[in-house]
Structure 1
């Protein structure tokens, strides 16, 4: 990762150091220092103070342009004795920034509301800075941002003069004697010479005219007006003279001159080459459809005739009067745009425009993602749109809430939340079109049940081919449980030795079809071993935790992309648009070819960086229709969620764990034969403790200090969950009942998060406890807190955490809930997701099942003090409880 600016969940801008630390120049180093040592507002102002942002890295350039937009608005807001707040950032401009944002850490937190809040906070900071340290804004600008100039009292007016066909424009320079209250008066500039006549007013006159003097240094037009004295008189201008003035308006505004123009110029009216994409005479549309291309010239909503087009090309460059209005004309660019569109039209007539080419064109990119035709000069004089039929189809993809419900509610044994039903309808819509999709909802928002609902829709619509679901081994238990609970009518086949015997797997490998099966569930690892899965034509393939294919060079990525299916879906809770390489690999699966080859895509994104504005808009336009992402921070989602959601994190055992566990079961069985009374009770308790330790990590039981992750299924699952938490810059509490596990967990999590966290156990003093709480509660504080459940389960407020992990189980829900409530309490603004770790096929899973069933034994266990009542079981009952289901433990 390179040095970059990104967003925290709160919406504040943060500097993230990367591998190129120390390689940036002094100017950039100074900017980053402001963000690191001071605050967002100081950093933004320092960015705006730069003379140019063209050489800045993409994220810095984006925030530079945002800061410059603010400074432009601030400098064009006349102030009196004290600064008043400027107008808020309008929604249209905010959406423009949102649409053109580059990939950045925390991009999922970027919104119109966040941009508007940053605007207000920057303005409040500047007002306070002027009030505290300067006599006025002009002094601050002169001292700290000398190339910015506050608007003066001089105004350049350009208006239409409809009575003179040869000189249809009028120019006048005026000044405002004073801002006063309300609307300012404007007098001819010549009056200023009279008002400030005499040597005593010379300084005031020079100050008044300083914006004109500044503009004259860069503009030959203004210099000529000043040298000739014409600046003090009303002037009649030809269209060519008016156009020269209009092209230099940004320069005049930068100099502090107020500009008043005809309203039509704000829209930059231009005749444009208009191309329309359509499905032709086809009644159906899908990913294999060939599109038609029709080219014409339009002025707004009006089509131009061939005669009017010829008149345009015969006119001089500049301003031309067509269809009752003045428009901007650049013959060379118009002809270039027409040639490009005609070439595409010819290609469409001969071969048709493919779906992929069409989507690229509609996004603002070129049909082949080449670097030569995405330059903005081309797009400013041409545009491509979908016809009404195609437009409606694409609009439904972009606005899934408008889709009709297809959910078979009787078959689904659950009630979906509104946003979940919207997600199911969207997935079904894309499925019907044969298009890929990425469901990127936050962890805990129910991606699993949305896919289960989609599978029920496929069954209801009698889709005759099965679907394939590929997932990490650690999630097999979750999917099996939810399929049985929510969709018992689905016939699911698990292709994994933990749930299917070797004999059955061998038989399946010889099968040419899977009759009666709705969904086959397997793992990424099994894709490499069960090659027959590649030979079946699936209706749909779903990749869960699809970040598993972010590296396109791995074997599992290659195998996943070889699967043949009508439609492809990727499920992930990690941000998908923050790293371009990951984005390409994901789309190489869900929409092969849409982003071109890896080399072409890299070249394409490099060309976007060179655009003057809306750098990444074409890329966002291209990928966003296929990504549905809902965040827990979205107020419309929060209102529909419970404050606390509990989920199981099922874990397997490593070979070392399974071996130790089975050996301990055998030892217990042997020891029970000769133990009775208190000796038996002590024996049972010691072995229960041993089983818990082995489930955590072999190193805890063996005390060998070797806490490598691959030796523990729980550590591997912890890494998967924390990778997602880290990618969202969220925080987590990790509870364990063993003090000796605190430090190994903290060391492991430091690697997962890339920074250290906090550890609390019984040996920590009260004073130190409070210091730790304050550290964790700071927004930029440590990302994780490991706590022993006895020492940290009560008395702390840790509401910065939106995740709680119970790494090992207390087997008493009241105790676990009390610990969870360190995060889930007054002051918590986010939904809290609670992860309960359970090793499958072990005593952990069996005890959890007993508690979940609320059986009499569960009450005995809870009321009798955790494991104590287990000692009263018979030998056979006890061995049955602790016995190892070896197949279910495989990772």
Structure 2
């Protein structure tokens, strides 16, 4: 009877529903929300108030993470977040969540459950009420949730949030069944993939969020999927859109272009693990001891070539172990950046984006190329050895392929690629000016669409350290990342070299 009364109260409340109310942005959020992000926050609050679940489906790069964190911060401040929130994301972005919490909502406590020693931190799952182990947010990956499921099913969550929710598109998988077995007061899906093209995935997400709302799978196929996909029936499509409209919020870049700056820069921090991290560590140790000997022998000033060579090797490991000429490295087929790229590219192409990918290593472009071929993604490529430059450029400009691979040396200059709206710098370039020039050549900023620039940086690695130097000592950074020995000698001090060669963790 209690359930029925609750339902009746909710039905009465919904009857009186006029519009989504505006909520104040929470105090202590270290960011200014754009108008559309504030509207997203209002919508998330509306869903929670009416005990409904939904999909936040904004285009990639529009800030789904920050809208979600602002919402959770309100929940904590109003004393509603008494059980943990569980966020499940692809392995490549779980640390991104941690970084964004630190940056935007430091009042929220969290625990990342990942890696071979993750069981050491399972206390937050096993005793969520105890003060020492209690956290607001638990973050884990799709890969691990099925392995550790027994620990998660014991628990009741305040929110269950699936990031990149197209991971649950197949209802027959173990993963999908796992999510149906978890108990949560509220559920939220985040995805940038437009659903219109994939009605089956759509049903799968709604069946997780609001079971029964779109009927059973066979019924849904009969009523909506077949008429819309096979016969292109517009009325059915409108009917479906009407039914799901309150539960899905999707803003595309084009719709809110006026609110976006001409250029949005996103520094995408990634973490290397496993064999790739071990390789980084062994190269670092070898270089560290080798350089100590050389510097002791010749002094720091006369050891420039060796220092640059050592740093180059570490930069190559950050991109992909296969760039190294070492036997051991060739056996490591693991690259955090390449995994992240191949994870996010299909989604960006689905959104209709036109993408430039810059790297200073042509061998890296070849590795990306192999992945694109395997995934069936069309591309063109421009390196120093490309003879028919204009043909390649025209093919991209005409929209025949969505991806353009460019070696920074060949492509920073004189290209007019206004068809692009997304730039990915696969590795940091020594001179921010050259990097910006590559970005801007791509854009001739007078173009009509906002541009997104992603920079892939490996956390705690030489890349991040050089980036820090770049902020304070542009000249030094330039020398460290160039491969030529300069006349104005590397003004390296022992402590800077020490920090460049410090371990990952």
Classify the TM-score, shorter chain: 0.7 to 0.9
CA contact (8 A) 2:73 2:108 kept: yes
CA contact (8 A) 1:478 1:648 kept: no
1:513 aligns with 2:133: no
Provide Cα deviations, 1:385-430, integer angstroms capped at 9, x if missing partner: xx9x64542x53xxxxxx3322344221211111110100001110
- State the secondary structure of the residue aligned to 2:353: coil
TM-score norm. by structure 2 comes to: 0.88
What's the counterpart of residue 699 of structure 1? Answer: 322
What is the alpha-carbon distance in structure 2 between the residues aligned to residue 750 and residue 452 of structure 1? 37
The alpha carbon displacement at 1:830 in A equals: 1.4
Match of 2:237 among 610, 616, 623: 616
1:523 aligns with 2:141: yes
The alpha carbon displacement at 1:612 in A equals: 7.6
* Cα 1:885–1:555 shift into 2, 3 Å: farther
What is the alpha-carbon distance in structure 2 between the residues aligned to residue 685 and residue 812 of structure 1? 15
Match of 2:102 among 484, 500, 511: 484
1:727 aligns with 2:350: yes
The alpha carbon displacement at 1:573 in A equals: 0.8
CA contact (8 A) 2:355 2:420 kept: yes
* Cα 1:884–1:784 shift into 2, 3 Å: same
* Cα 1:774–1:875 shift into 2, 3 Å: same
What is the alpha-carbon distance in structure 2 between the residues aligned to residue 470 and residue 585 of structure 1? 17
* Cα 1:722–1:612 shift into 2, 3 Å: closer
After superposition, residues 467-866 of structure 1 pair within 5 angstroms as: 467-497=85-115, 502=118, 504-513=120-129, 515=131, 517-531=135-149, 532-605=151-224, 608=227, 614-634=235-255, 637-653=256-272, 655-676=274-295, 677=298, 680-702=303-325, 711-752=334-375, 754-765=376-387, 768-779=388-399, 781-851=400-470, 854-855=471-472, 857-862=473-478, 866=482
CA contact (8 A) 1:672 1:875 kept: no
What is the number of equivalent residue pairs in this alignment? 491
TM-score norm. by structure 1 comes to: 0.51
The alpha carbon displacement at 1:870 in A equals: 10
What's the counterpart of residue 21 of structure 2? Answer: 404
CA contact (8 A) 1:439 1:569 kept: yes
The alpha carbon displacement at 1:783 in A equals: 0.9
What's the counterpart of residue 210 of structure 1? Answer: none
* Cα 1:451–1:785 shift into 2, 3 Å: same
Larger radius of gyration: 1
CA contact (8 A) 2:476 2:491 kept: no
CA contact (8 A) 1:408 1:460 kept: no
What is the alpha-carbon distance in structure 2 between the residues aligned to residue 628 and residue 708 of structure 1? 45
What is the alpha-carbon distance in structure 2 between the residues aligned to residue 618 and residue 541 of structure 1? 28
What's the counterpart of residue 44 of structure 2? Answer: 427
**CA RMSD between the two structures:** 3.2
The alpha carbon displacement at 1:554 in A equals: 3.0
- Structure 1 gaps of 5+ residues are 1-281, 292-353, 356-386, 397-402, 887-891
Provide Cα deviations, 1:710-755, integer angstroms capped at 9, x if missing partner: 6211111001220111212221000001122223222322334x24
* Cα 1:870–1:740 shift into 2, 3 Å: farther
What is the alpha-carbon distance in structure 1 between the residues aligned to residue 227 and residue 4 of structure 2? 30
What is the alpha-carbon distance in structure 1 between the residues aligned to residue 103 and residue 197 of structure 2? 35
The alpha carbon displacement at 1:633 in A equals: 0.9
